[in-house]
Homo-oligomer: A and B are copies of this chain.
Amino acid sequence: MTQPGDPSERSLHPGAAEPPAASATTRPSAPPGPERRRLRGGAPIQIGLLGCGTVGGGVLRLLADKSANLAARAGAPLVVRRIAVRELDKQRVPECDPSLLTTDPDAVVSDPEIDLIVEVMGGEEPARELLARAMDRGKGVVTANKLLLAAHGPALLARAVERRVDLAFEGAAGGGIPIVRNLRESFASDRVERIVAILNGTCNYILTRMREGGASFAAALAEAQERGYAEADPTLDVDGHDAAHKLVVLAMLAFGARVAEGEVPVEGIRALEEADHRHADRFGYAIKHLAIGRDLGGTVELRVHPTLIPRRSVLANVSGVLNAVLVEGRALGPSLVYGRGAGDLPTAVSVVADIVDVARSIASGVAGMQTRGIALAERPLRPLAEVESRYYLRFTVADRPGVMGRLAGALGDAGVSIEHIVQEGEPQPGGASVDVVMVTHRAREGNVRAALAAIDSAAILDRPARLLRIEAV
């Protein structure tokens, strides 16, 4: 095991605030890594668990339930040695041995007998600092913390490469969906061109209820909260930030892109109305909250927003709390994984799969094998104004003669051509409000926005226009 300050390693003081090397690069010709504590046939891999909430409890259950099988897969028995928790005397799963508990996570990370740290405590700090310290001490690391990965993924990966330890995070992007493993391994020889993903179960549940049950956003949200699918404060989910965190993690794996999560354009689903679902359906679409990524060579395009997709596509039929990730590879073509994107047990299954992978590397004396060959580069984001898409536009207007012409004219002036226009209902006497819905041909978003600004300044709308993007899937 490498002790901090070991002269054979460059110094990265545990817990120090300076950022680690910013870029994870490949080093096929690197000398063999430092000797770990053990390279022995069959001796147990000692695990330190940070956090023992519902995911942590699930991990303990799964480890106990299939211990013989997991030991056979890993090449060594898996033994939980210490568990860091916030409170000692809370009710826990029977698989949690109280004698292993400590309130000092540092003691777990510093324990020289521990080979592998599993972080299921959540939050940015102290999780980041603890994992960095564990890697500096030569320990393998497994985490399901998407917040952490979105904010510090590249730095943590760089540290793992530098320290020649494994960093696994299947649970951090899509809970139980094996997307990290797929992107890392199945696409090794391919180039990922596009990702289109449903990454937030709360949003997907709400949109499913709005579309199928005709519920309002507020009613569907309340129902999701009742069923435990949404938090009391649903902001992170319904405003799209949770999906953006996961998209940043996926972009790292799919495109090798280092992207600041704060720069990704994000829209949530609060503004959607039942009428939008009805109009979309009339045009043959369903509305889904999607995270979209494209590799454009120099730049990458990343965005998170409600999106119209063809009603009969597989993605449109992923309903309820399920998540799905569609990946398009140049050689492989389209490929999709779907499943439970959140939830304690599915996330625990992903964490245990990672534990087995990392334990196997350690037991085989090839720690760091999982992170080998990962190369990240800073990639500028394409500005949203330059994105090209088809658009759904909904205008609520007084039904005065000539309004439709003025709307279409403004779009035409901006170079946006229209594929369909539908005016809902019969003209009302007295000019009551009606919806005019348009679907455009492919256009630059900047041009569409310019047209909407012109329409807005002409004061012919009863309220701001609704713009939704249409994605071919």
Binding site for B on A (CB under 8 A): 26, 28-32, 41-42, 58, 62-63, 65-66, 69-77, 170, 176-178, 181-182, 185-191, 312-314, 316-319, 322, 324, 329, 331-340, 343, 345-346, 348-350, 352-353, 356-357, 360, 364-366, 369, 372-373, 375
**Closest B residue to A314 using CB positions:** B317
For the A-B complex with A29-B41, A75-B369, A187-B349 known, give 14 more contacts whose Cβ atoms are closer than 8 Å: A28-B77, A72-B373, A170-B186, A176-B333, A181-B186, A185-B356, A189-B348, A189-B356, A314-B324, A332-B349, A333-B339, A333-B340, A337-B338, A360-B372
In the complex, the answer to whether B333 meets A336 with C-beta atoms within 8 Å is no
In angstroms, how far is the closest chain B Cβ from the Cβ of A327? Answer: 9
In the complex, the answer to whether B349 meets A186 with C-beta atoms within 8 Å is yes
* Oligomer copy total: 2
In the complex, the answer to whether B63 meets A332 with C-beta atoms within 8 Å is no
Known: A29-B41, A366-B365. A334 touches B329 (CB 8 A): no
In the complex, the answer to whether B340 meets A337 with C-beta atoms within 8 Å is no
Partner of A41, one of B32, B76, B336, B350: B32
Known: A331-B345, A332-B349. A31 touches B26 (CB 8 A): no
Partner of A366, one of B26, B318, B319, B364: B364
Chain B residues positioned under 8 Å from A346 (CB to CB): 331-333
Q: Which 10 A-B pairs have the closest CB atoms?
A: A335-B339, A72-B373, A26-B72, A73-B373, A189-B352, A178-B186, A364-B366, A62-B189, A331-B345, A336-B338
Partner of A340, one of B62, B170, B177, B334: B334
In the complex, the answer to whether B178 meets A353 with C-beta atoms within 8 Å is no
In the complex, the answer to whether A345 meets B332 with C-beta atoms within 8 Å is yes
Chain B residues positioned under 8 Å from A318 (CB to CB): 314
Chain B residues positioned under 8 Å from A76 (CB to CB): 28
Chain B residues positioned under 8 Å from A313 (CB to CB): 317
In angstroms, how far is the closest chain B Cβ from the Cβ of A335? Answer: 3
In the complex, the answer to whether A69 meets B331 with C-beta atoms within 8 Å is no
Known: A29-B41, A188-B69, A331-B58. A360 touches B369 (CB 8 A): yes
For the complex, give the distance between the alpha carbons of A186 and B343 in Å: 16
Chain B residues positioned under 8 Å from A343 (CB to CB): 333
For the complex, give the distance between the alpha carbons of A63 and B188 in Å: 10
Chain B residues positioned under 8 Å from A364 (CB to CB): 364, 366, 369
Chain B residues positioned under 8 Å from A312 (CB to CB): 317, 319
User: 11 A-B Cβ contacts within 8 A?
Assistant: A26-B72, A69-B188, A75-B369, A181-B186, A189-B356, A314-B314, A314-B318, A333-B346, A336-B338, A337-B337, A366-B366
In angstroms, how far is the closest chain B Cβ from the Cβ of A277? Answer: 15
Chain B residues positioned under 8 Å from A71 (CB to CB): 28
In angstroms, how far is the closest chain B Cβ from the Cβ of A232? Answer: 25
In the complex, the answer to whether B314 meets A331 with C-beta atoms within 8 Å is no
In the complex, the answer to whether A340 meets B332 with C-beta atoms within 8 Å is yes
In angstroms, how far is the closest chain B Cβ from the Cβ of A69? Answer: 7
In the complex, the answer to whether A70 meets B189 with C-beta atoms within 8 Å is yes
In the complex, the answer to whether B340 meets A28 with C-beta atoms within 8 Å is no
In the complex, the answer to whether A340 meets B335 with C-beta atoms within 8 Å is yes
**Closest B residue to A26 using CB positions:** B72
Chain B residues positioned under 8 Å from A186 (CB to CB): 170, 178, 181, 349-350, 353
In angstroms, how far is the closest chain B Cβ from the Cβ of A338? Answer: 5
In the complex, the answer to whether A336 meets B336 with C-beta atoms within 8 Å is yes
In the complex, the answer to whether B345 meets A334 with C-beta atoms within 8 Å is no
Partner of A42, one of B28, B72, B365: B28
Known: A28-B42, A28-B75. A338 touches B314 (CB 8 A): yes
In angstroms, how far is the closest chain B Cβ from the Cβ of A473? Answer: 11
Chain B residues positioned under 8 Å from A73 (CB to CB): 188, 372-373
For the complex, give the distance between the alpha carbons of A423 and B334 in Å: 41
From A28, A316, A356, A372, residue with most partner B Cβ within 10 Å: A28
In the complex, the answer to whether B332 meets A176 with C-beta atoms within 8 Å is yes
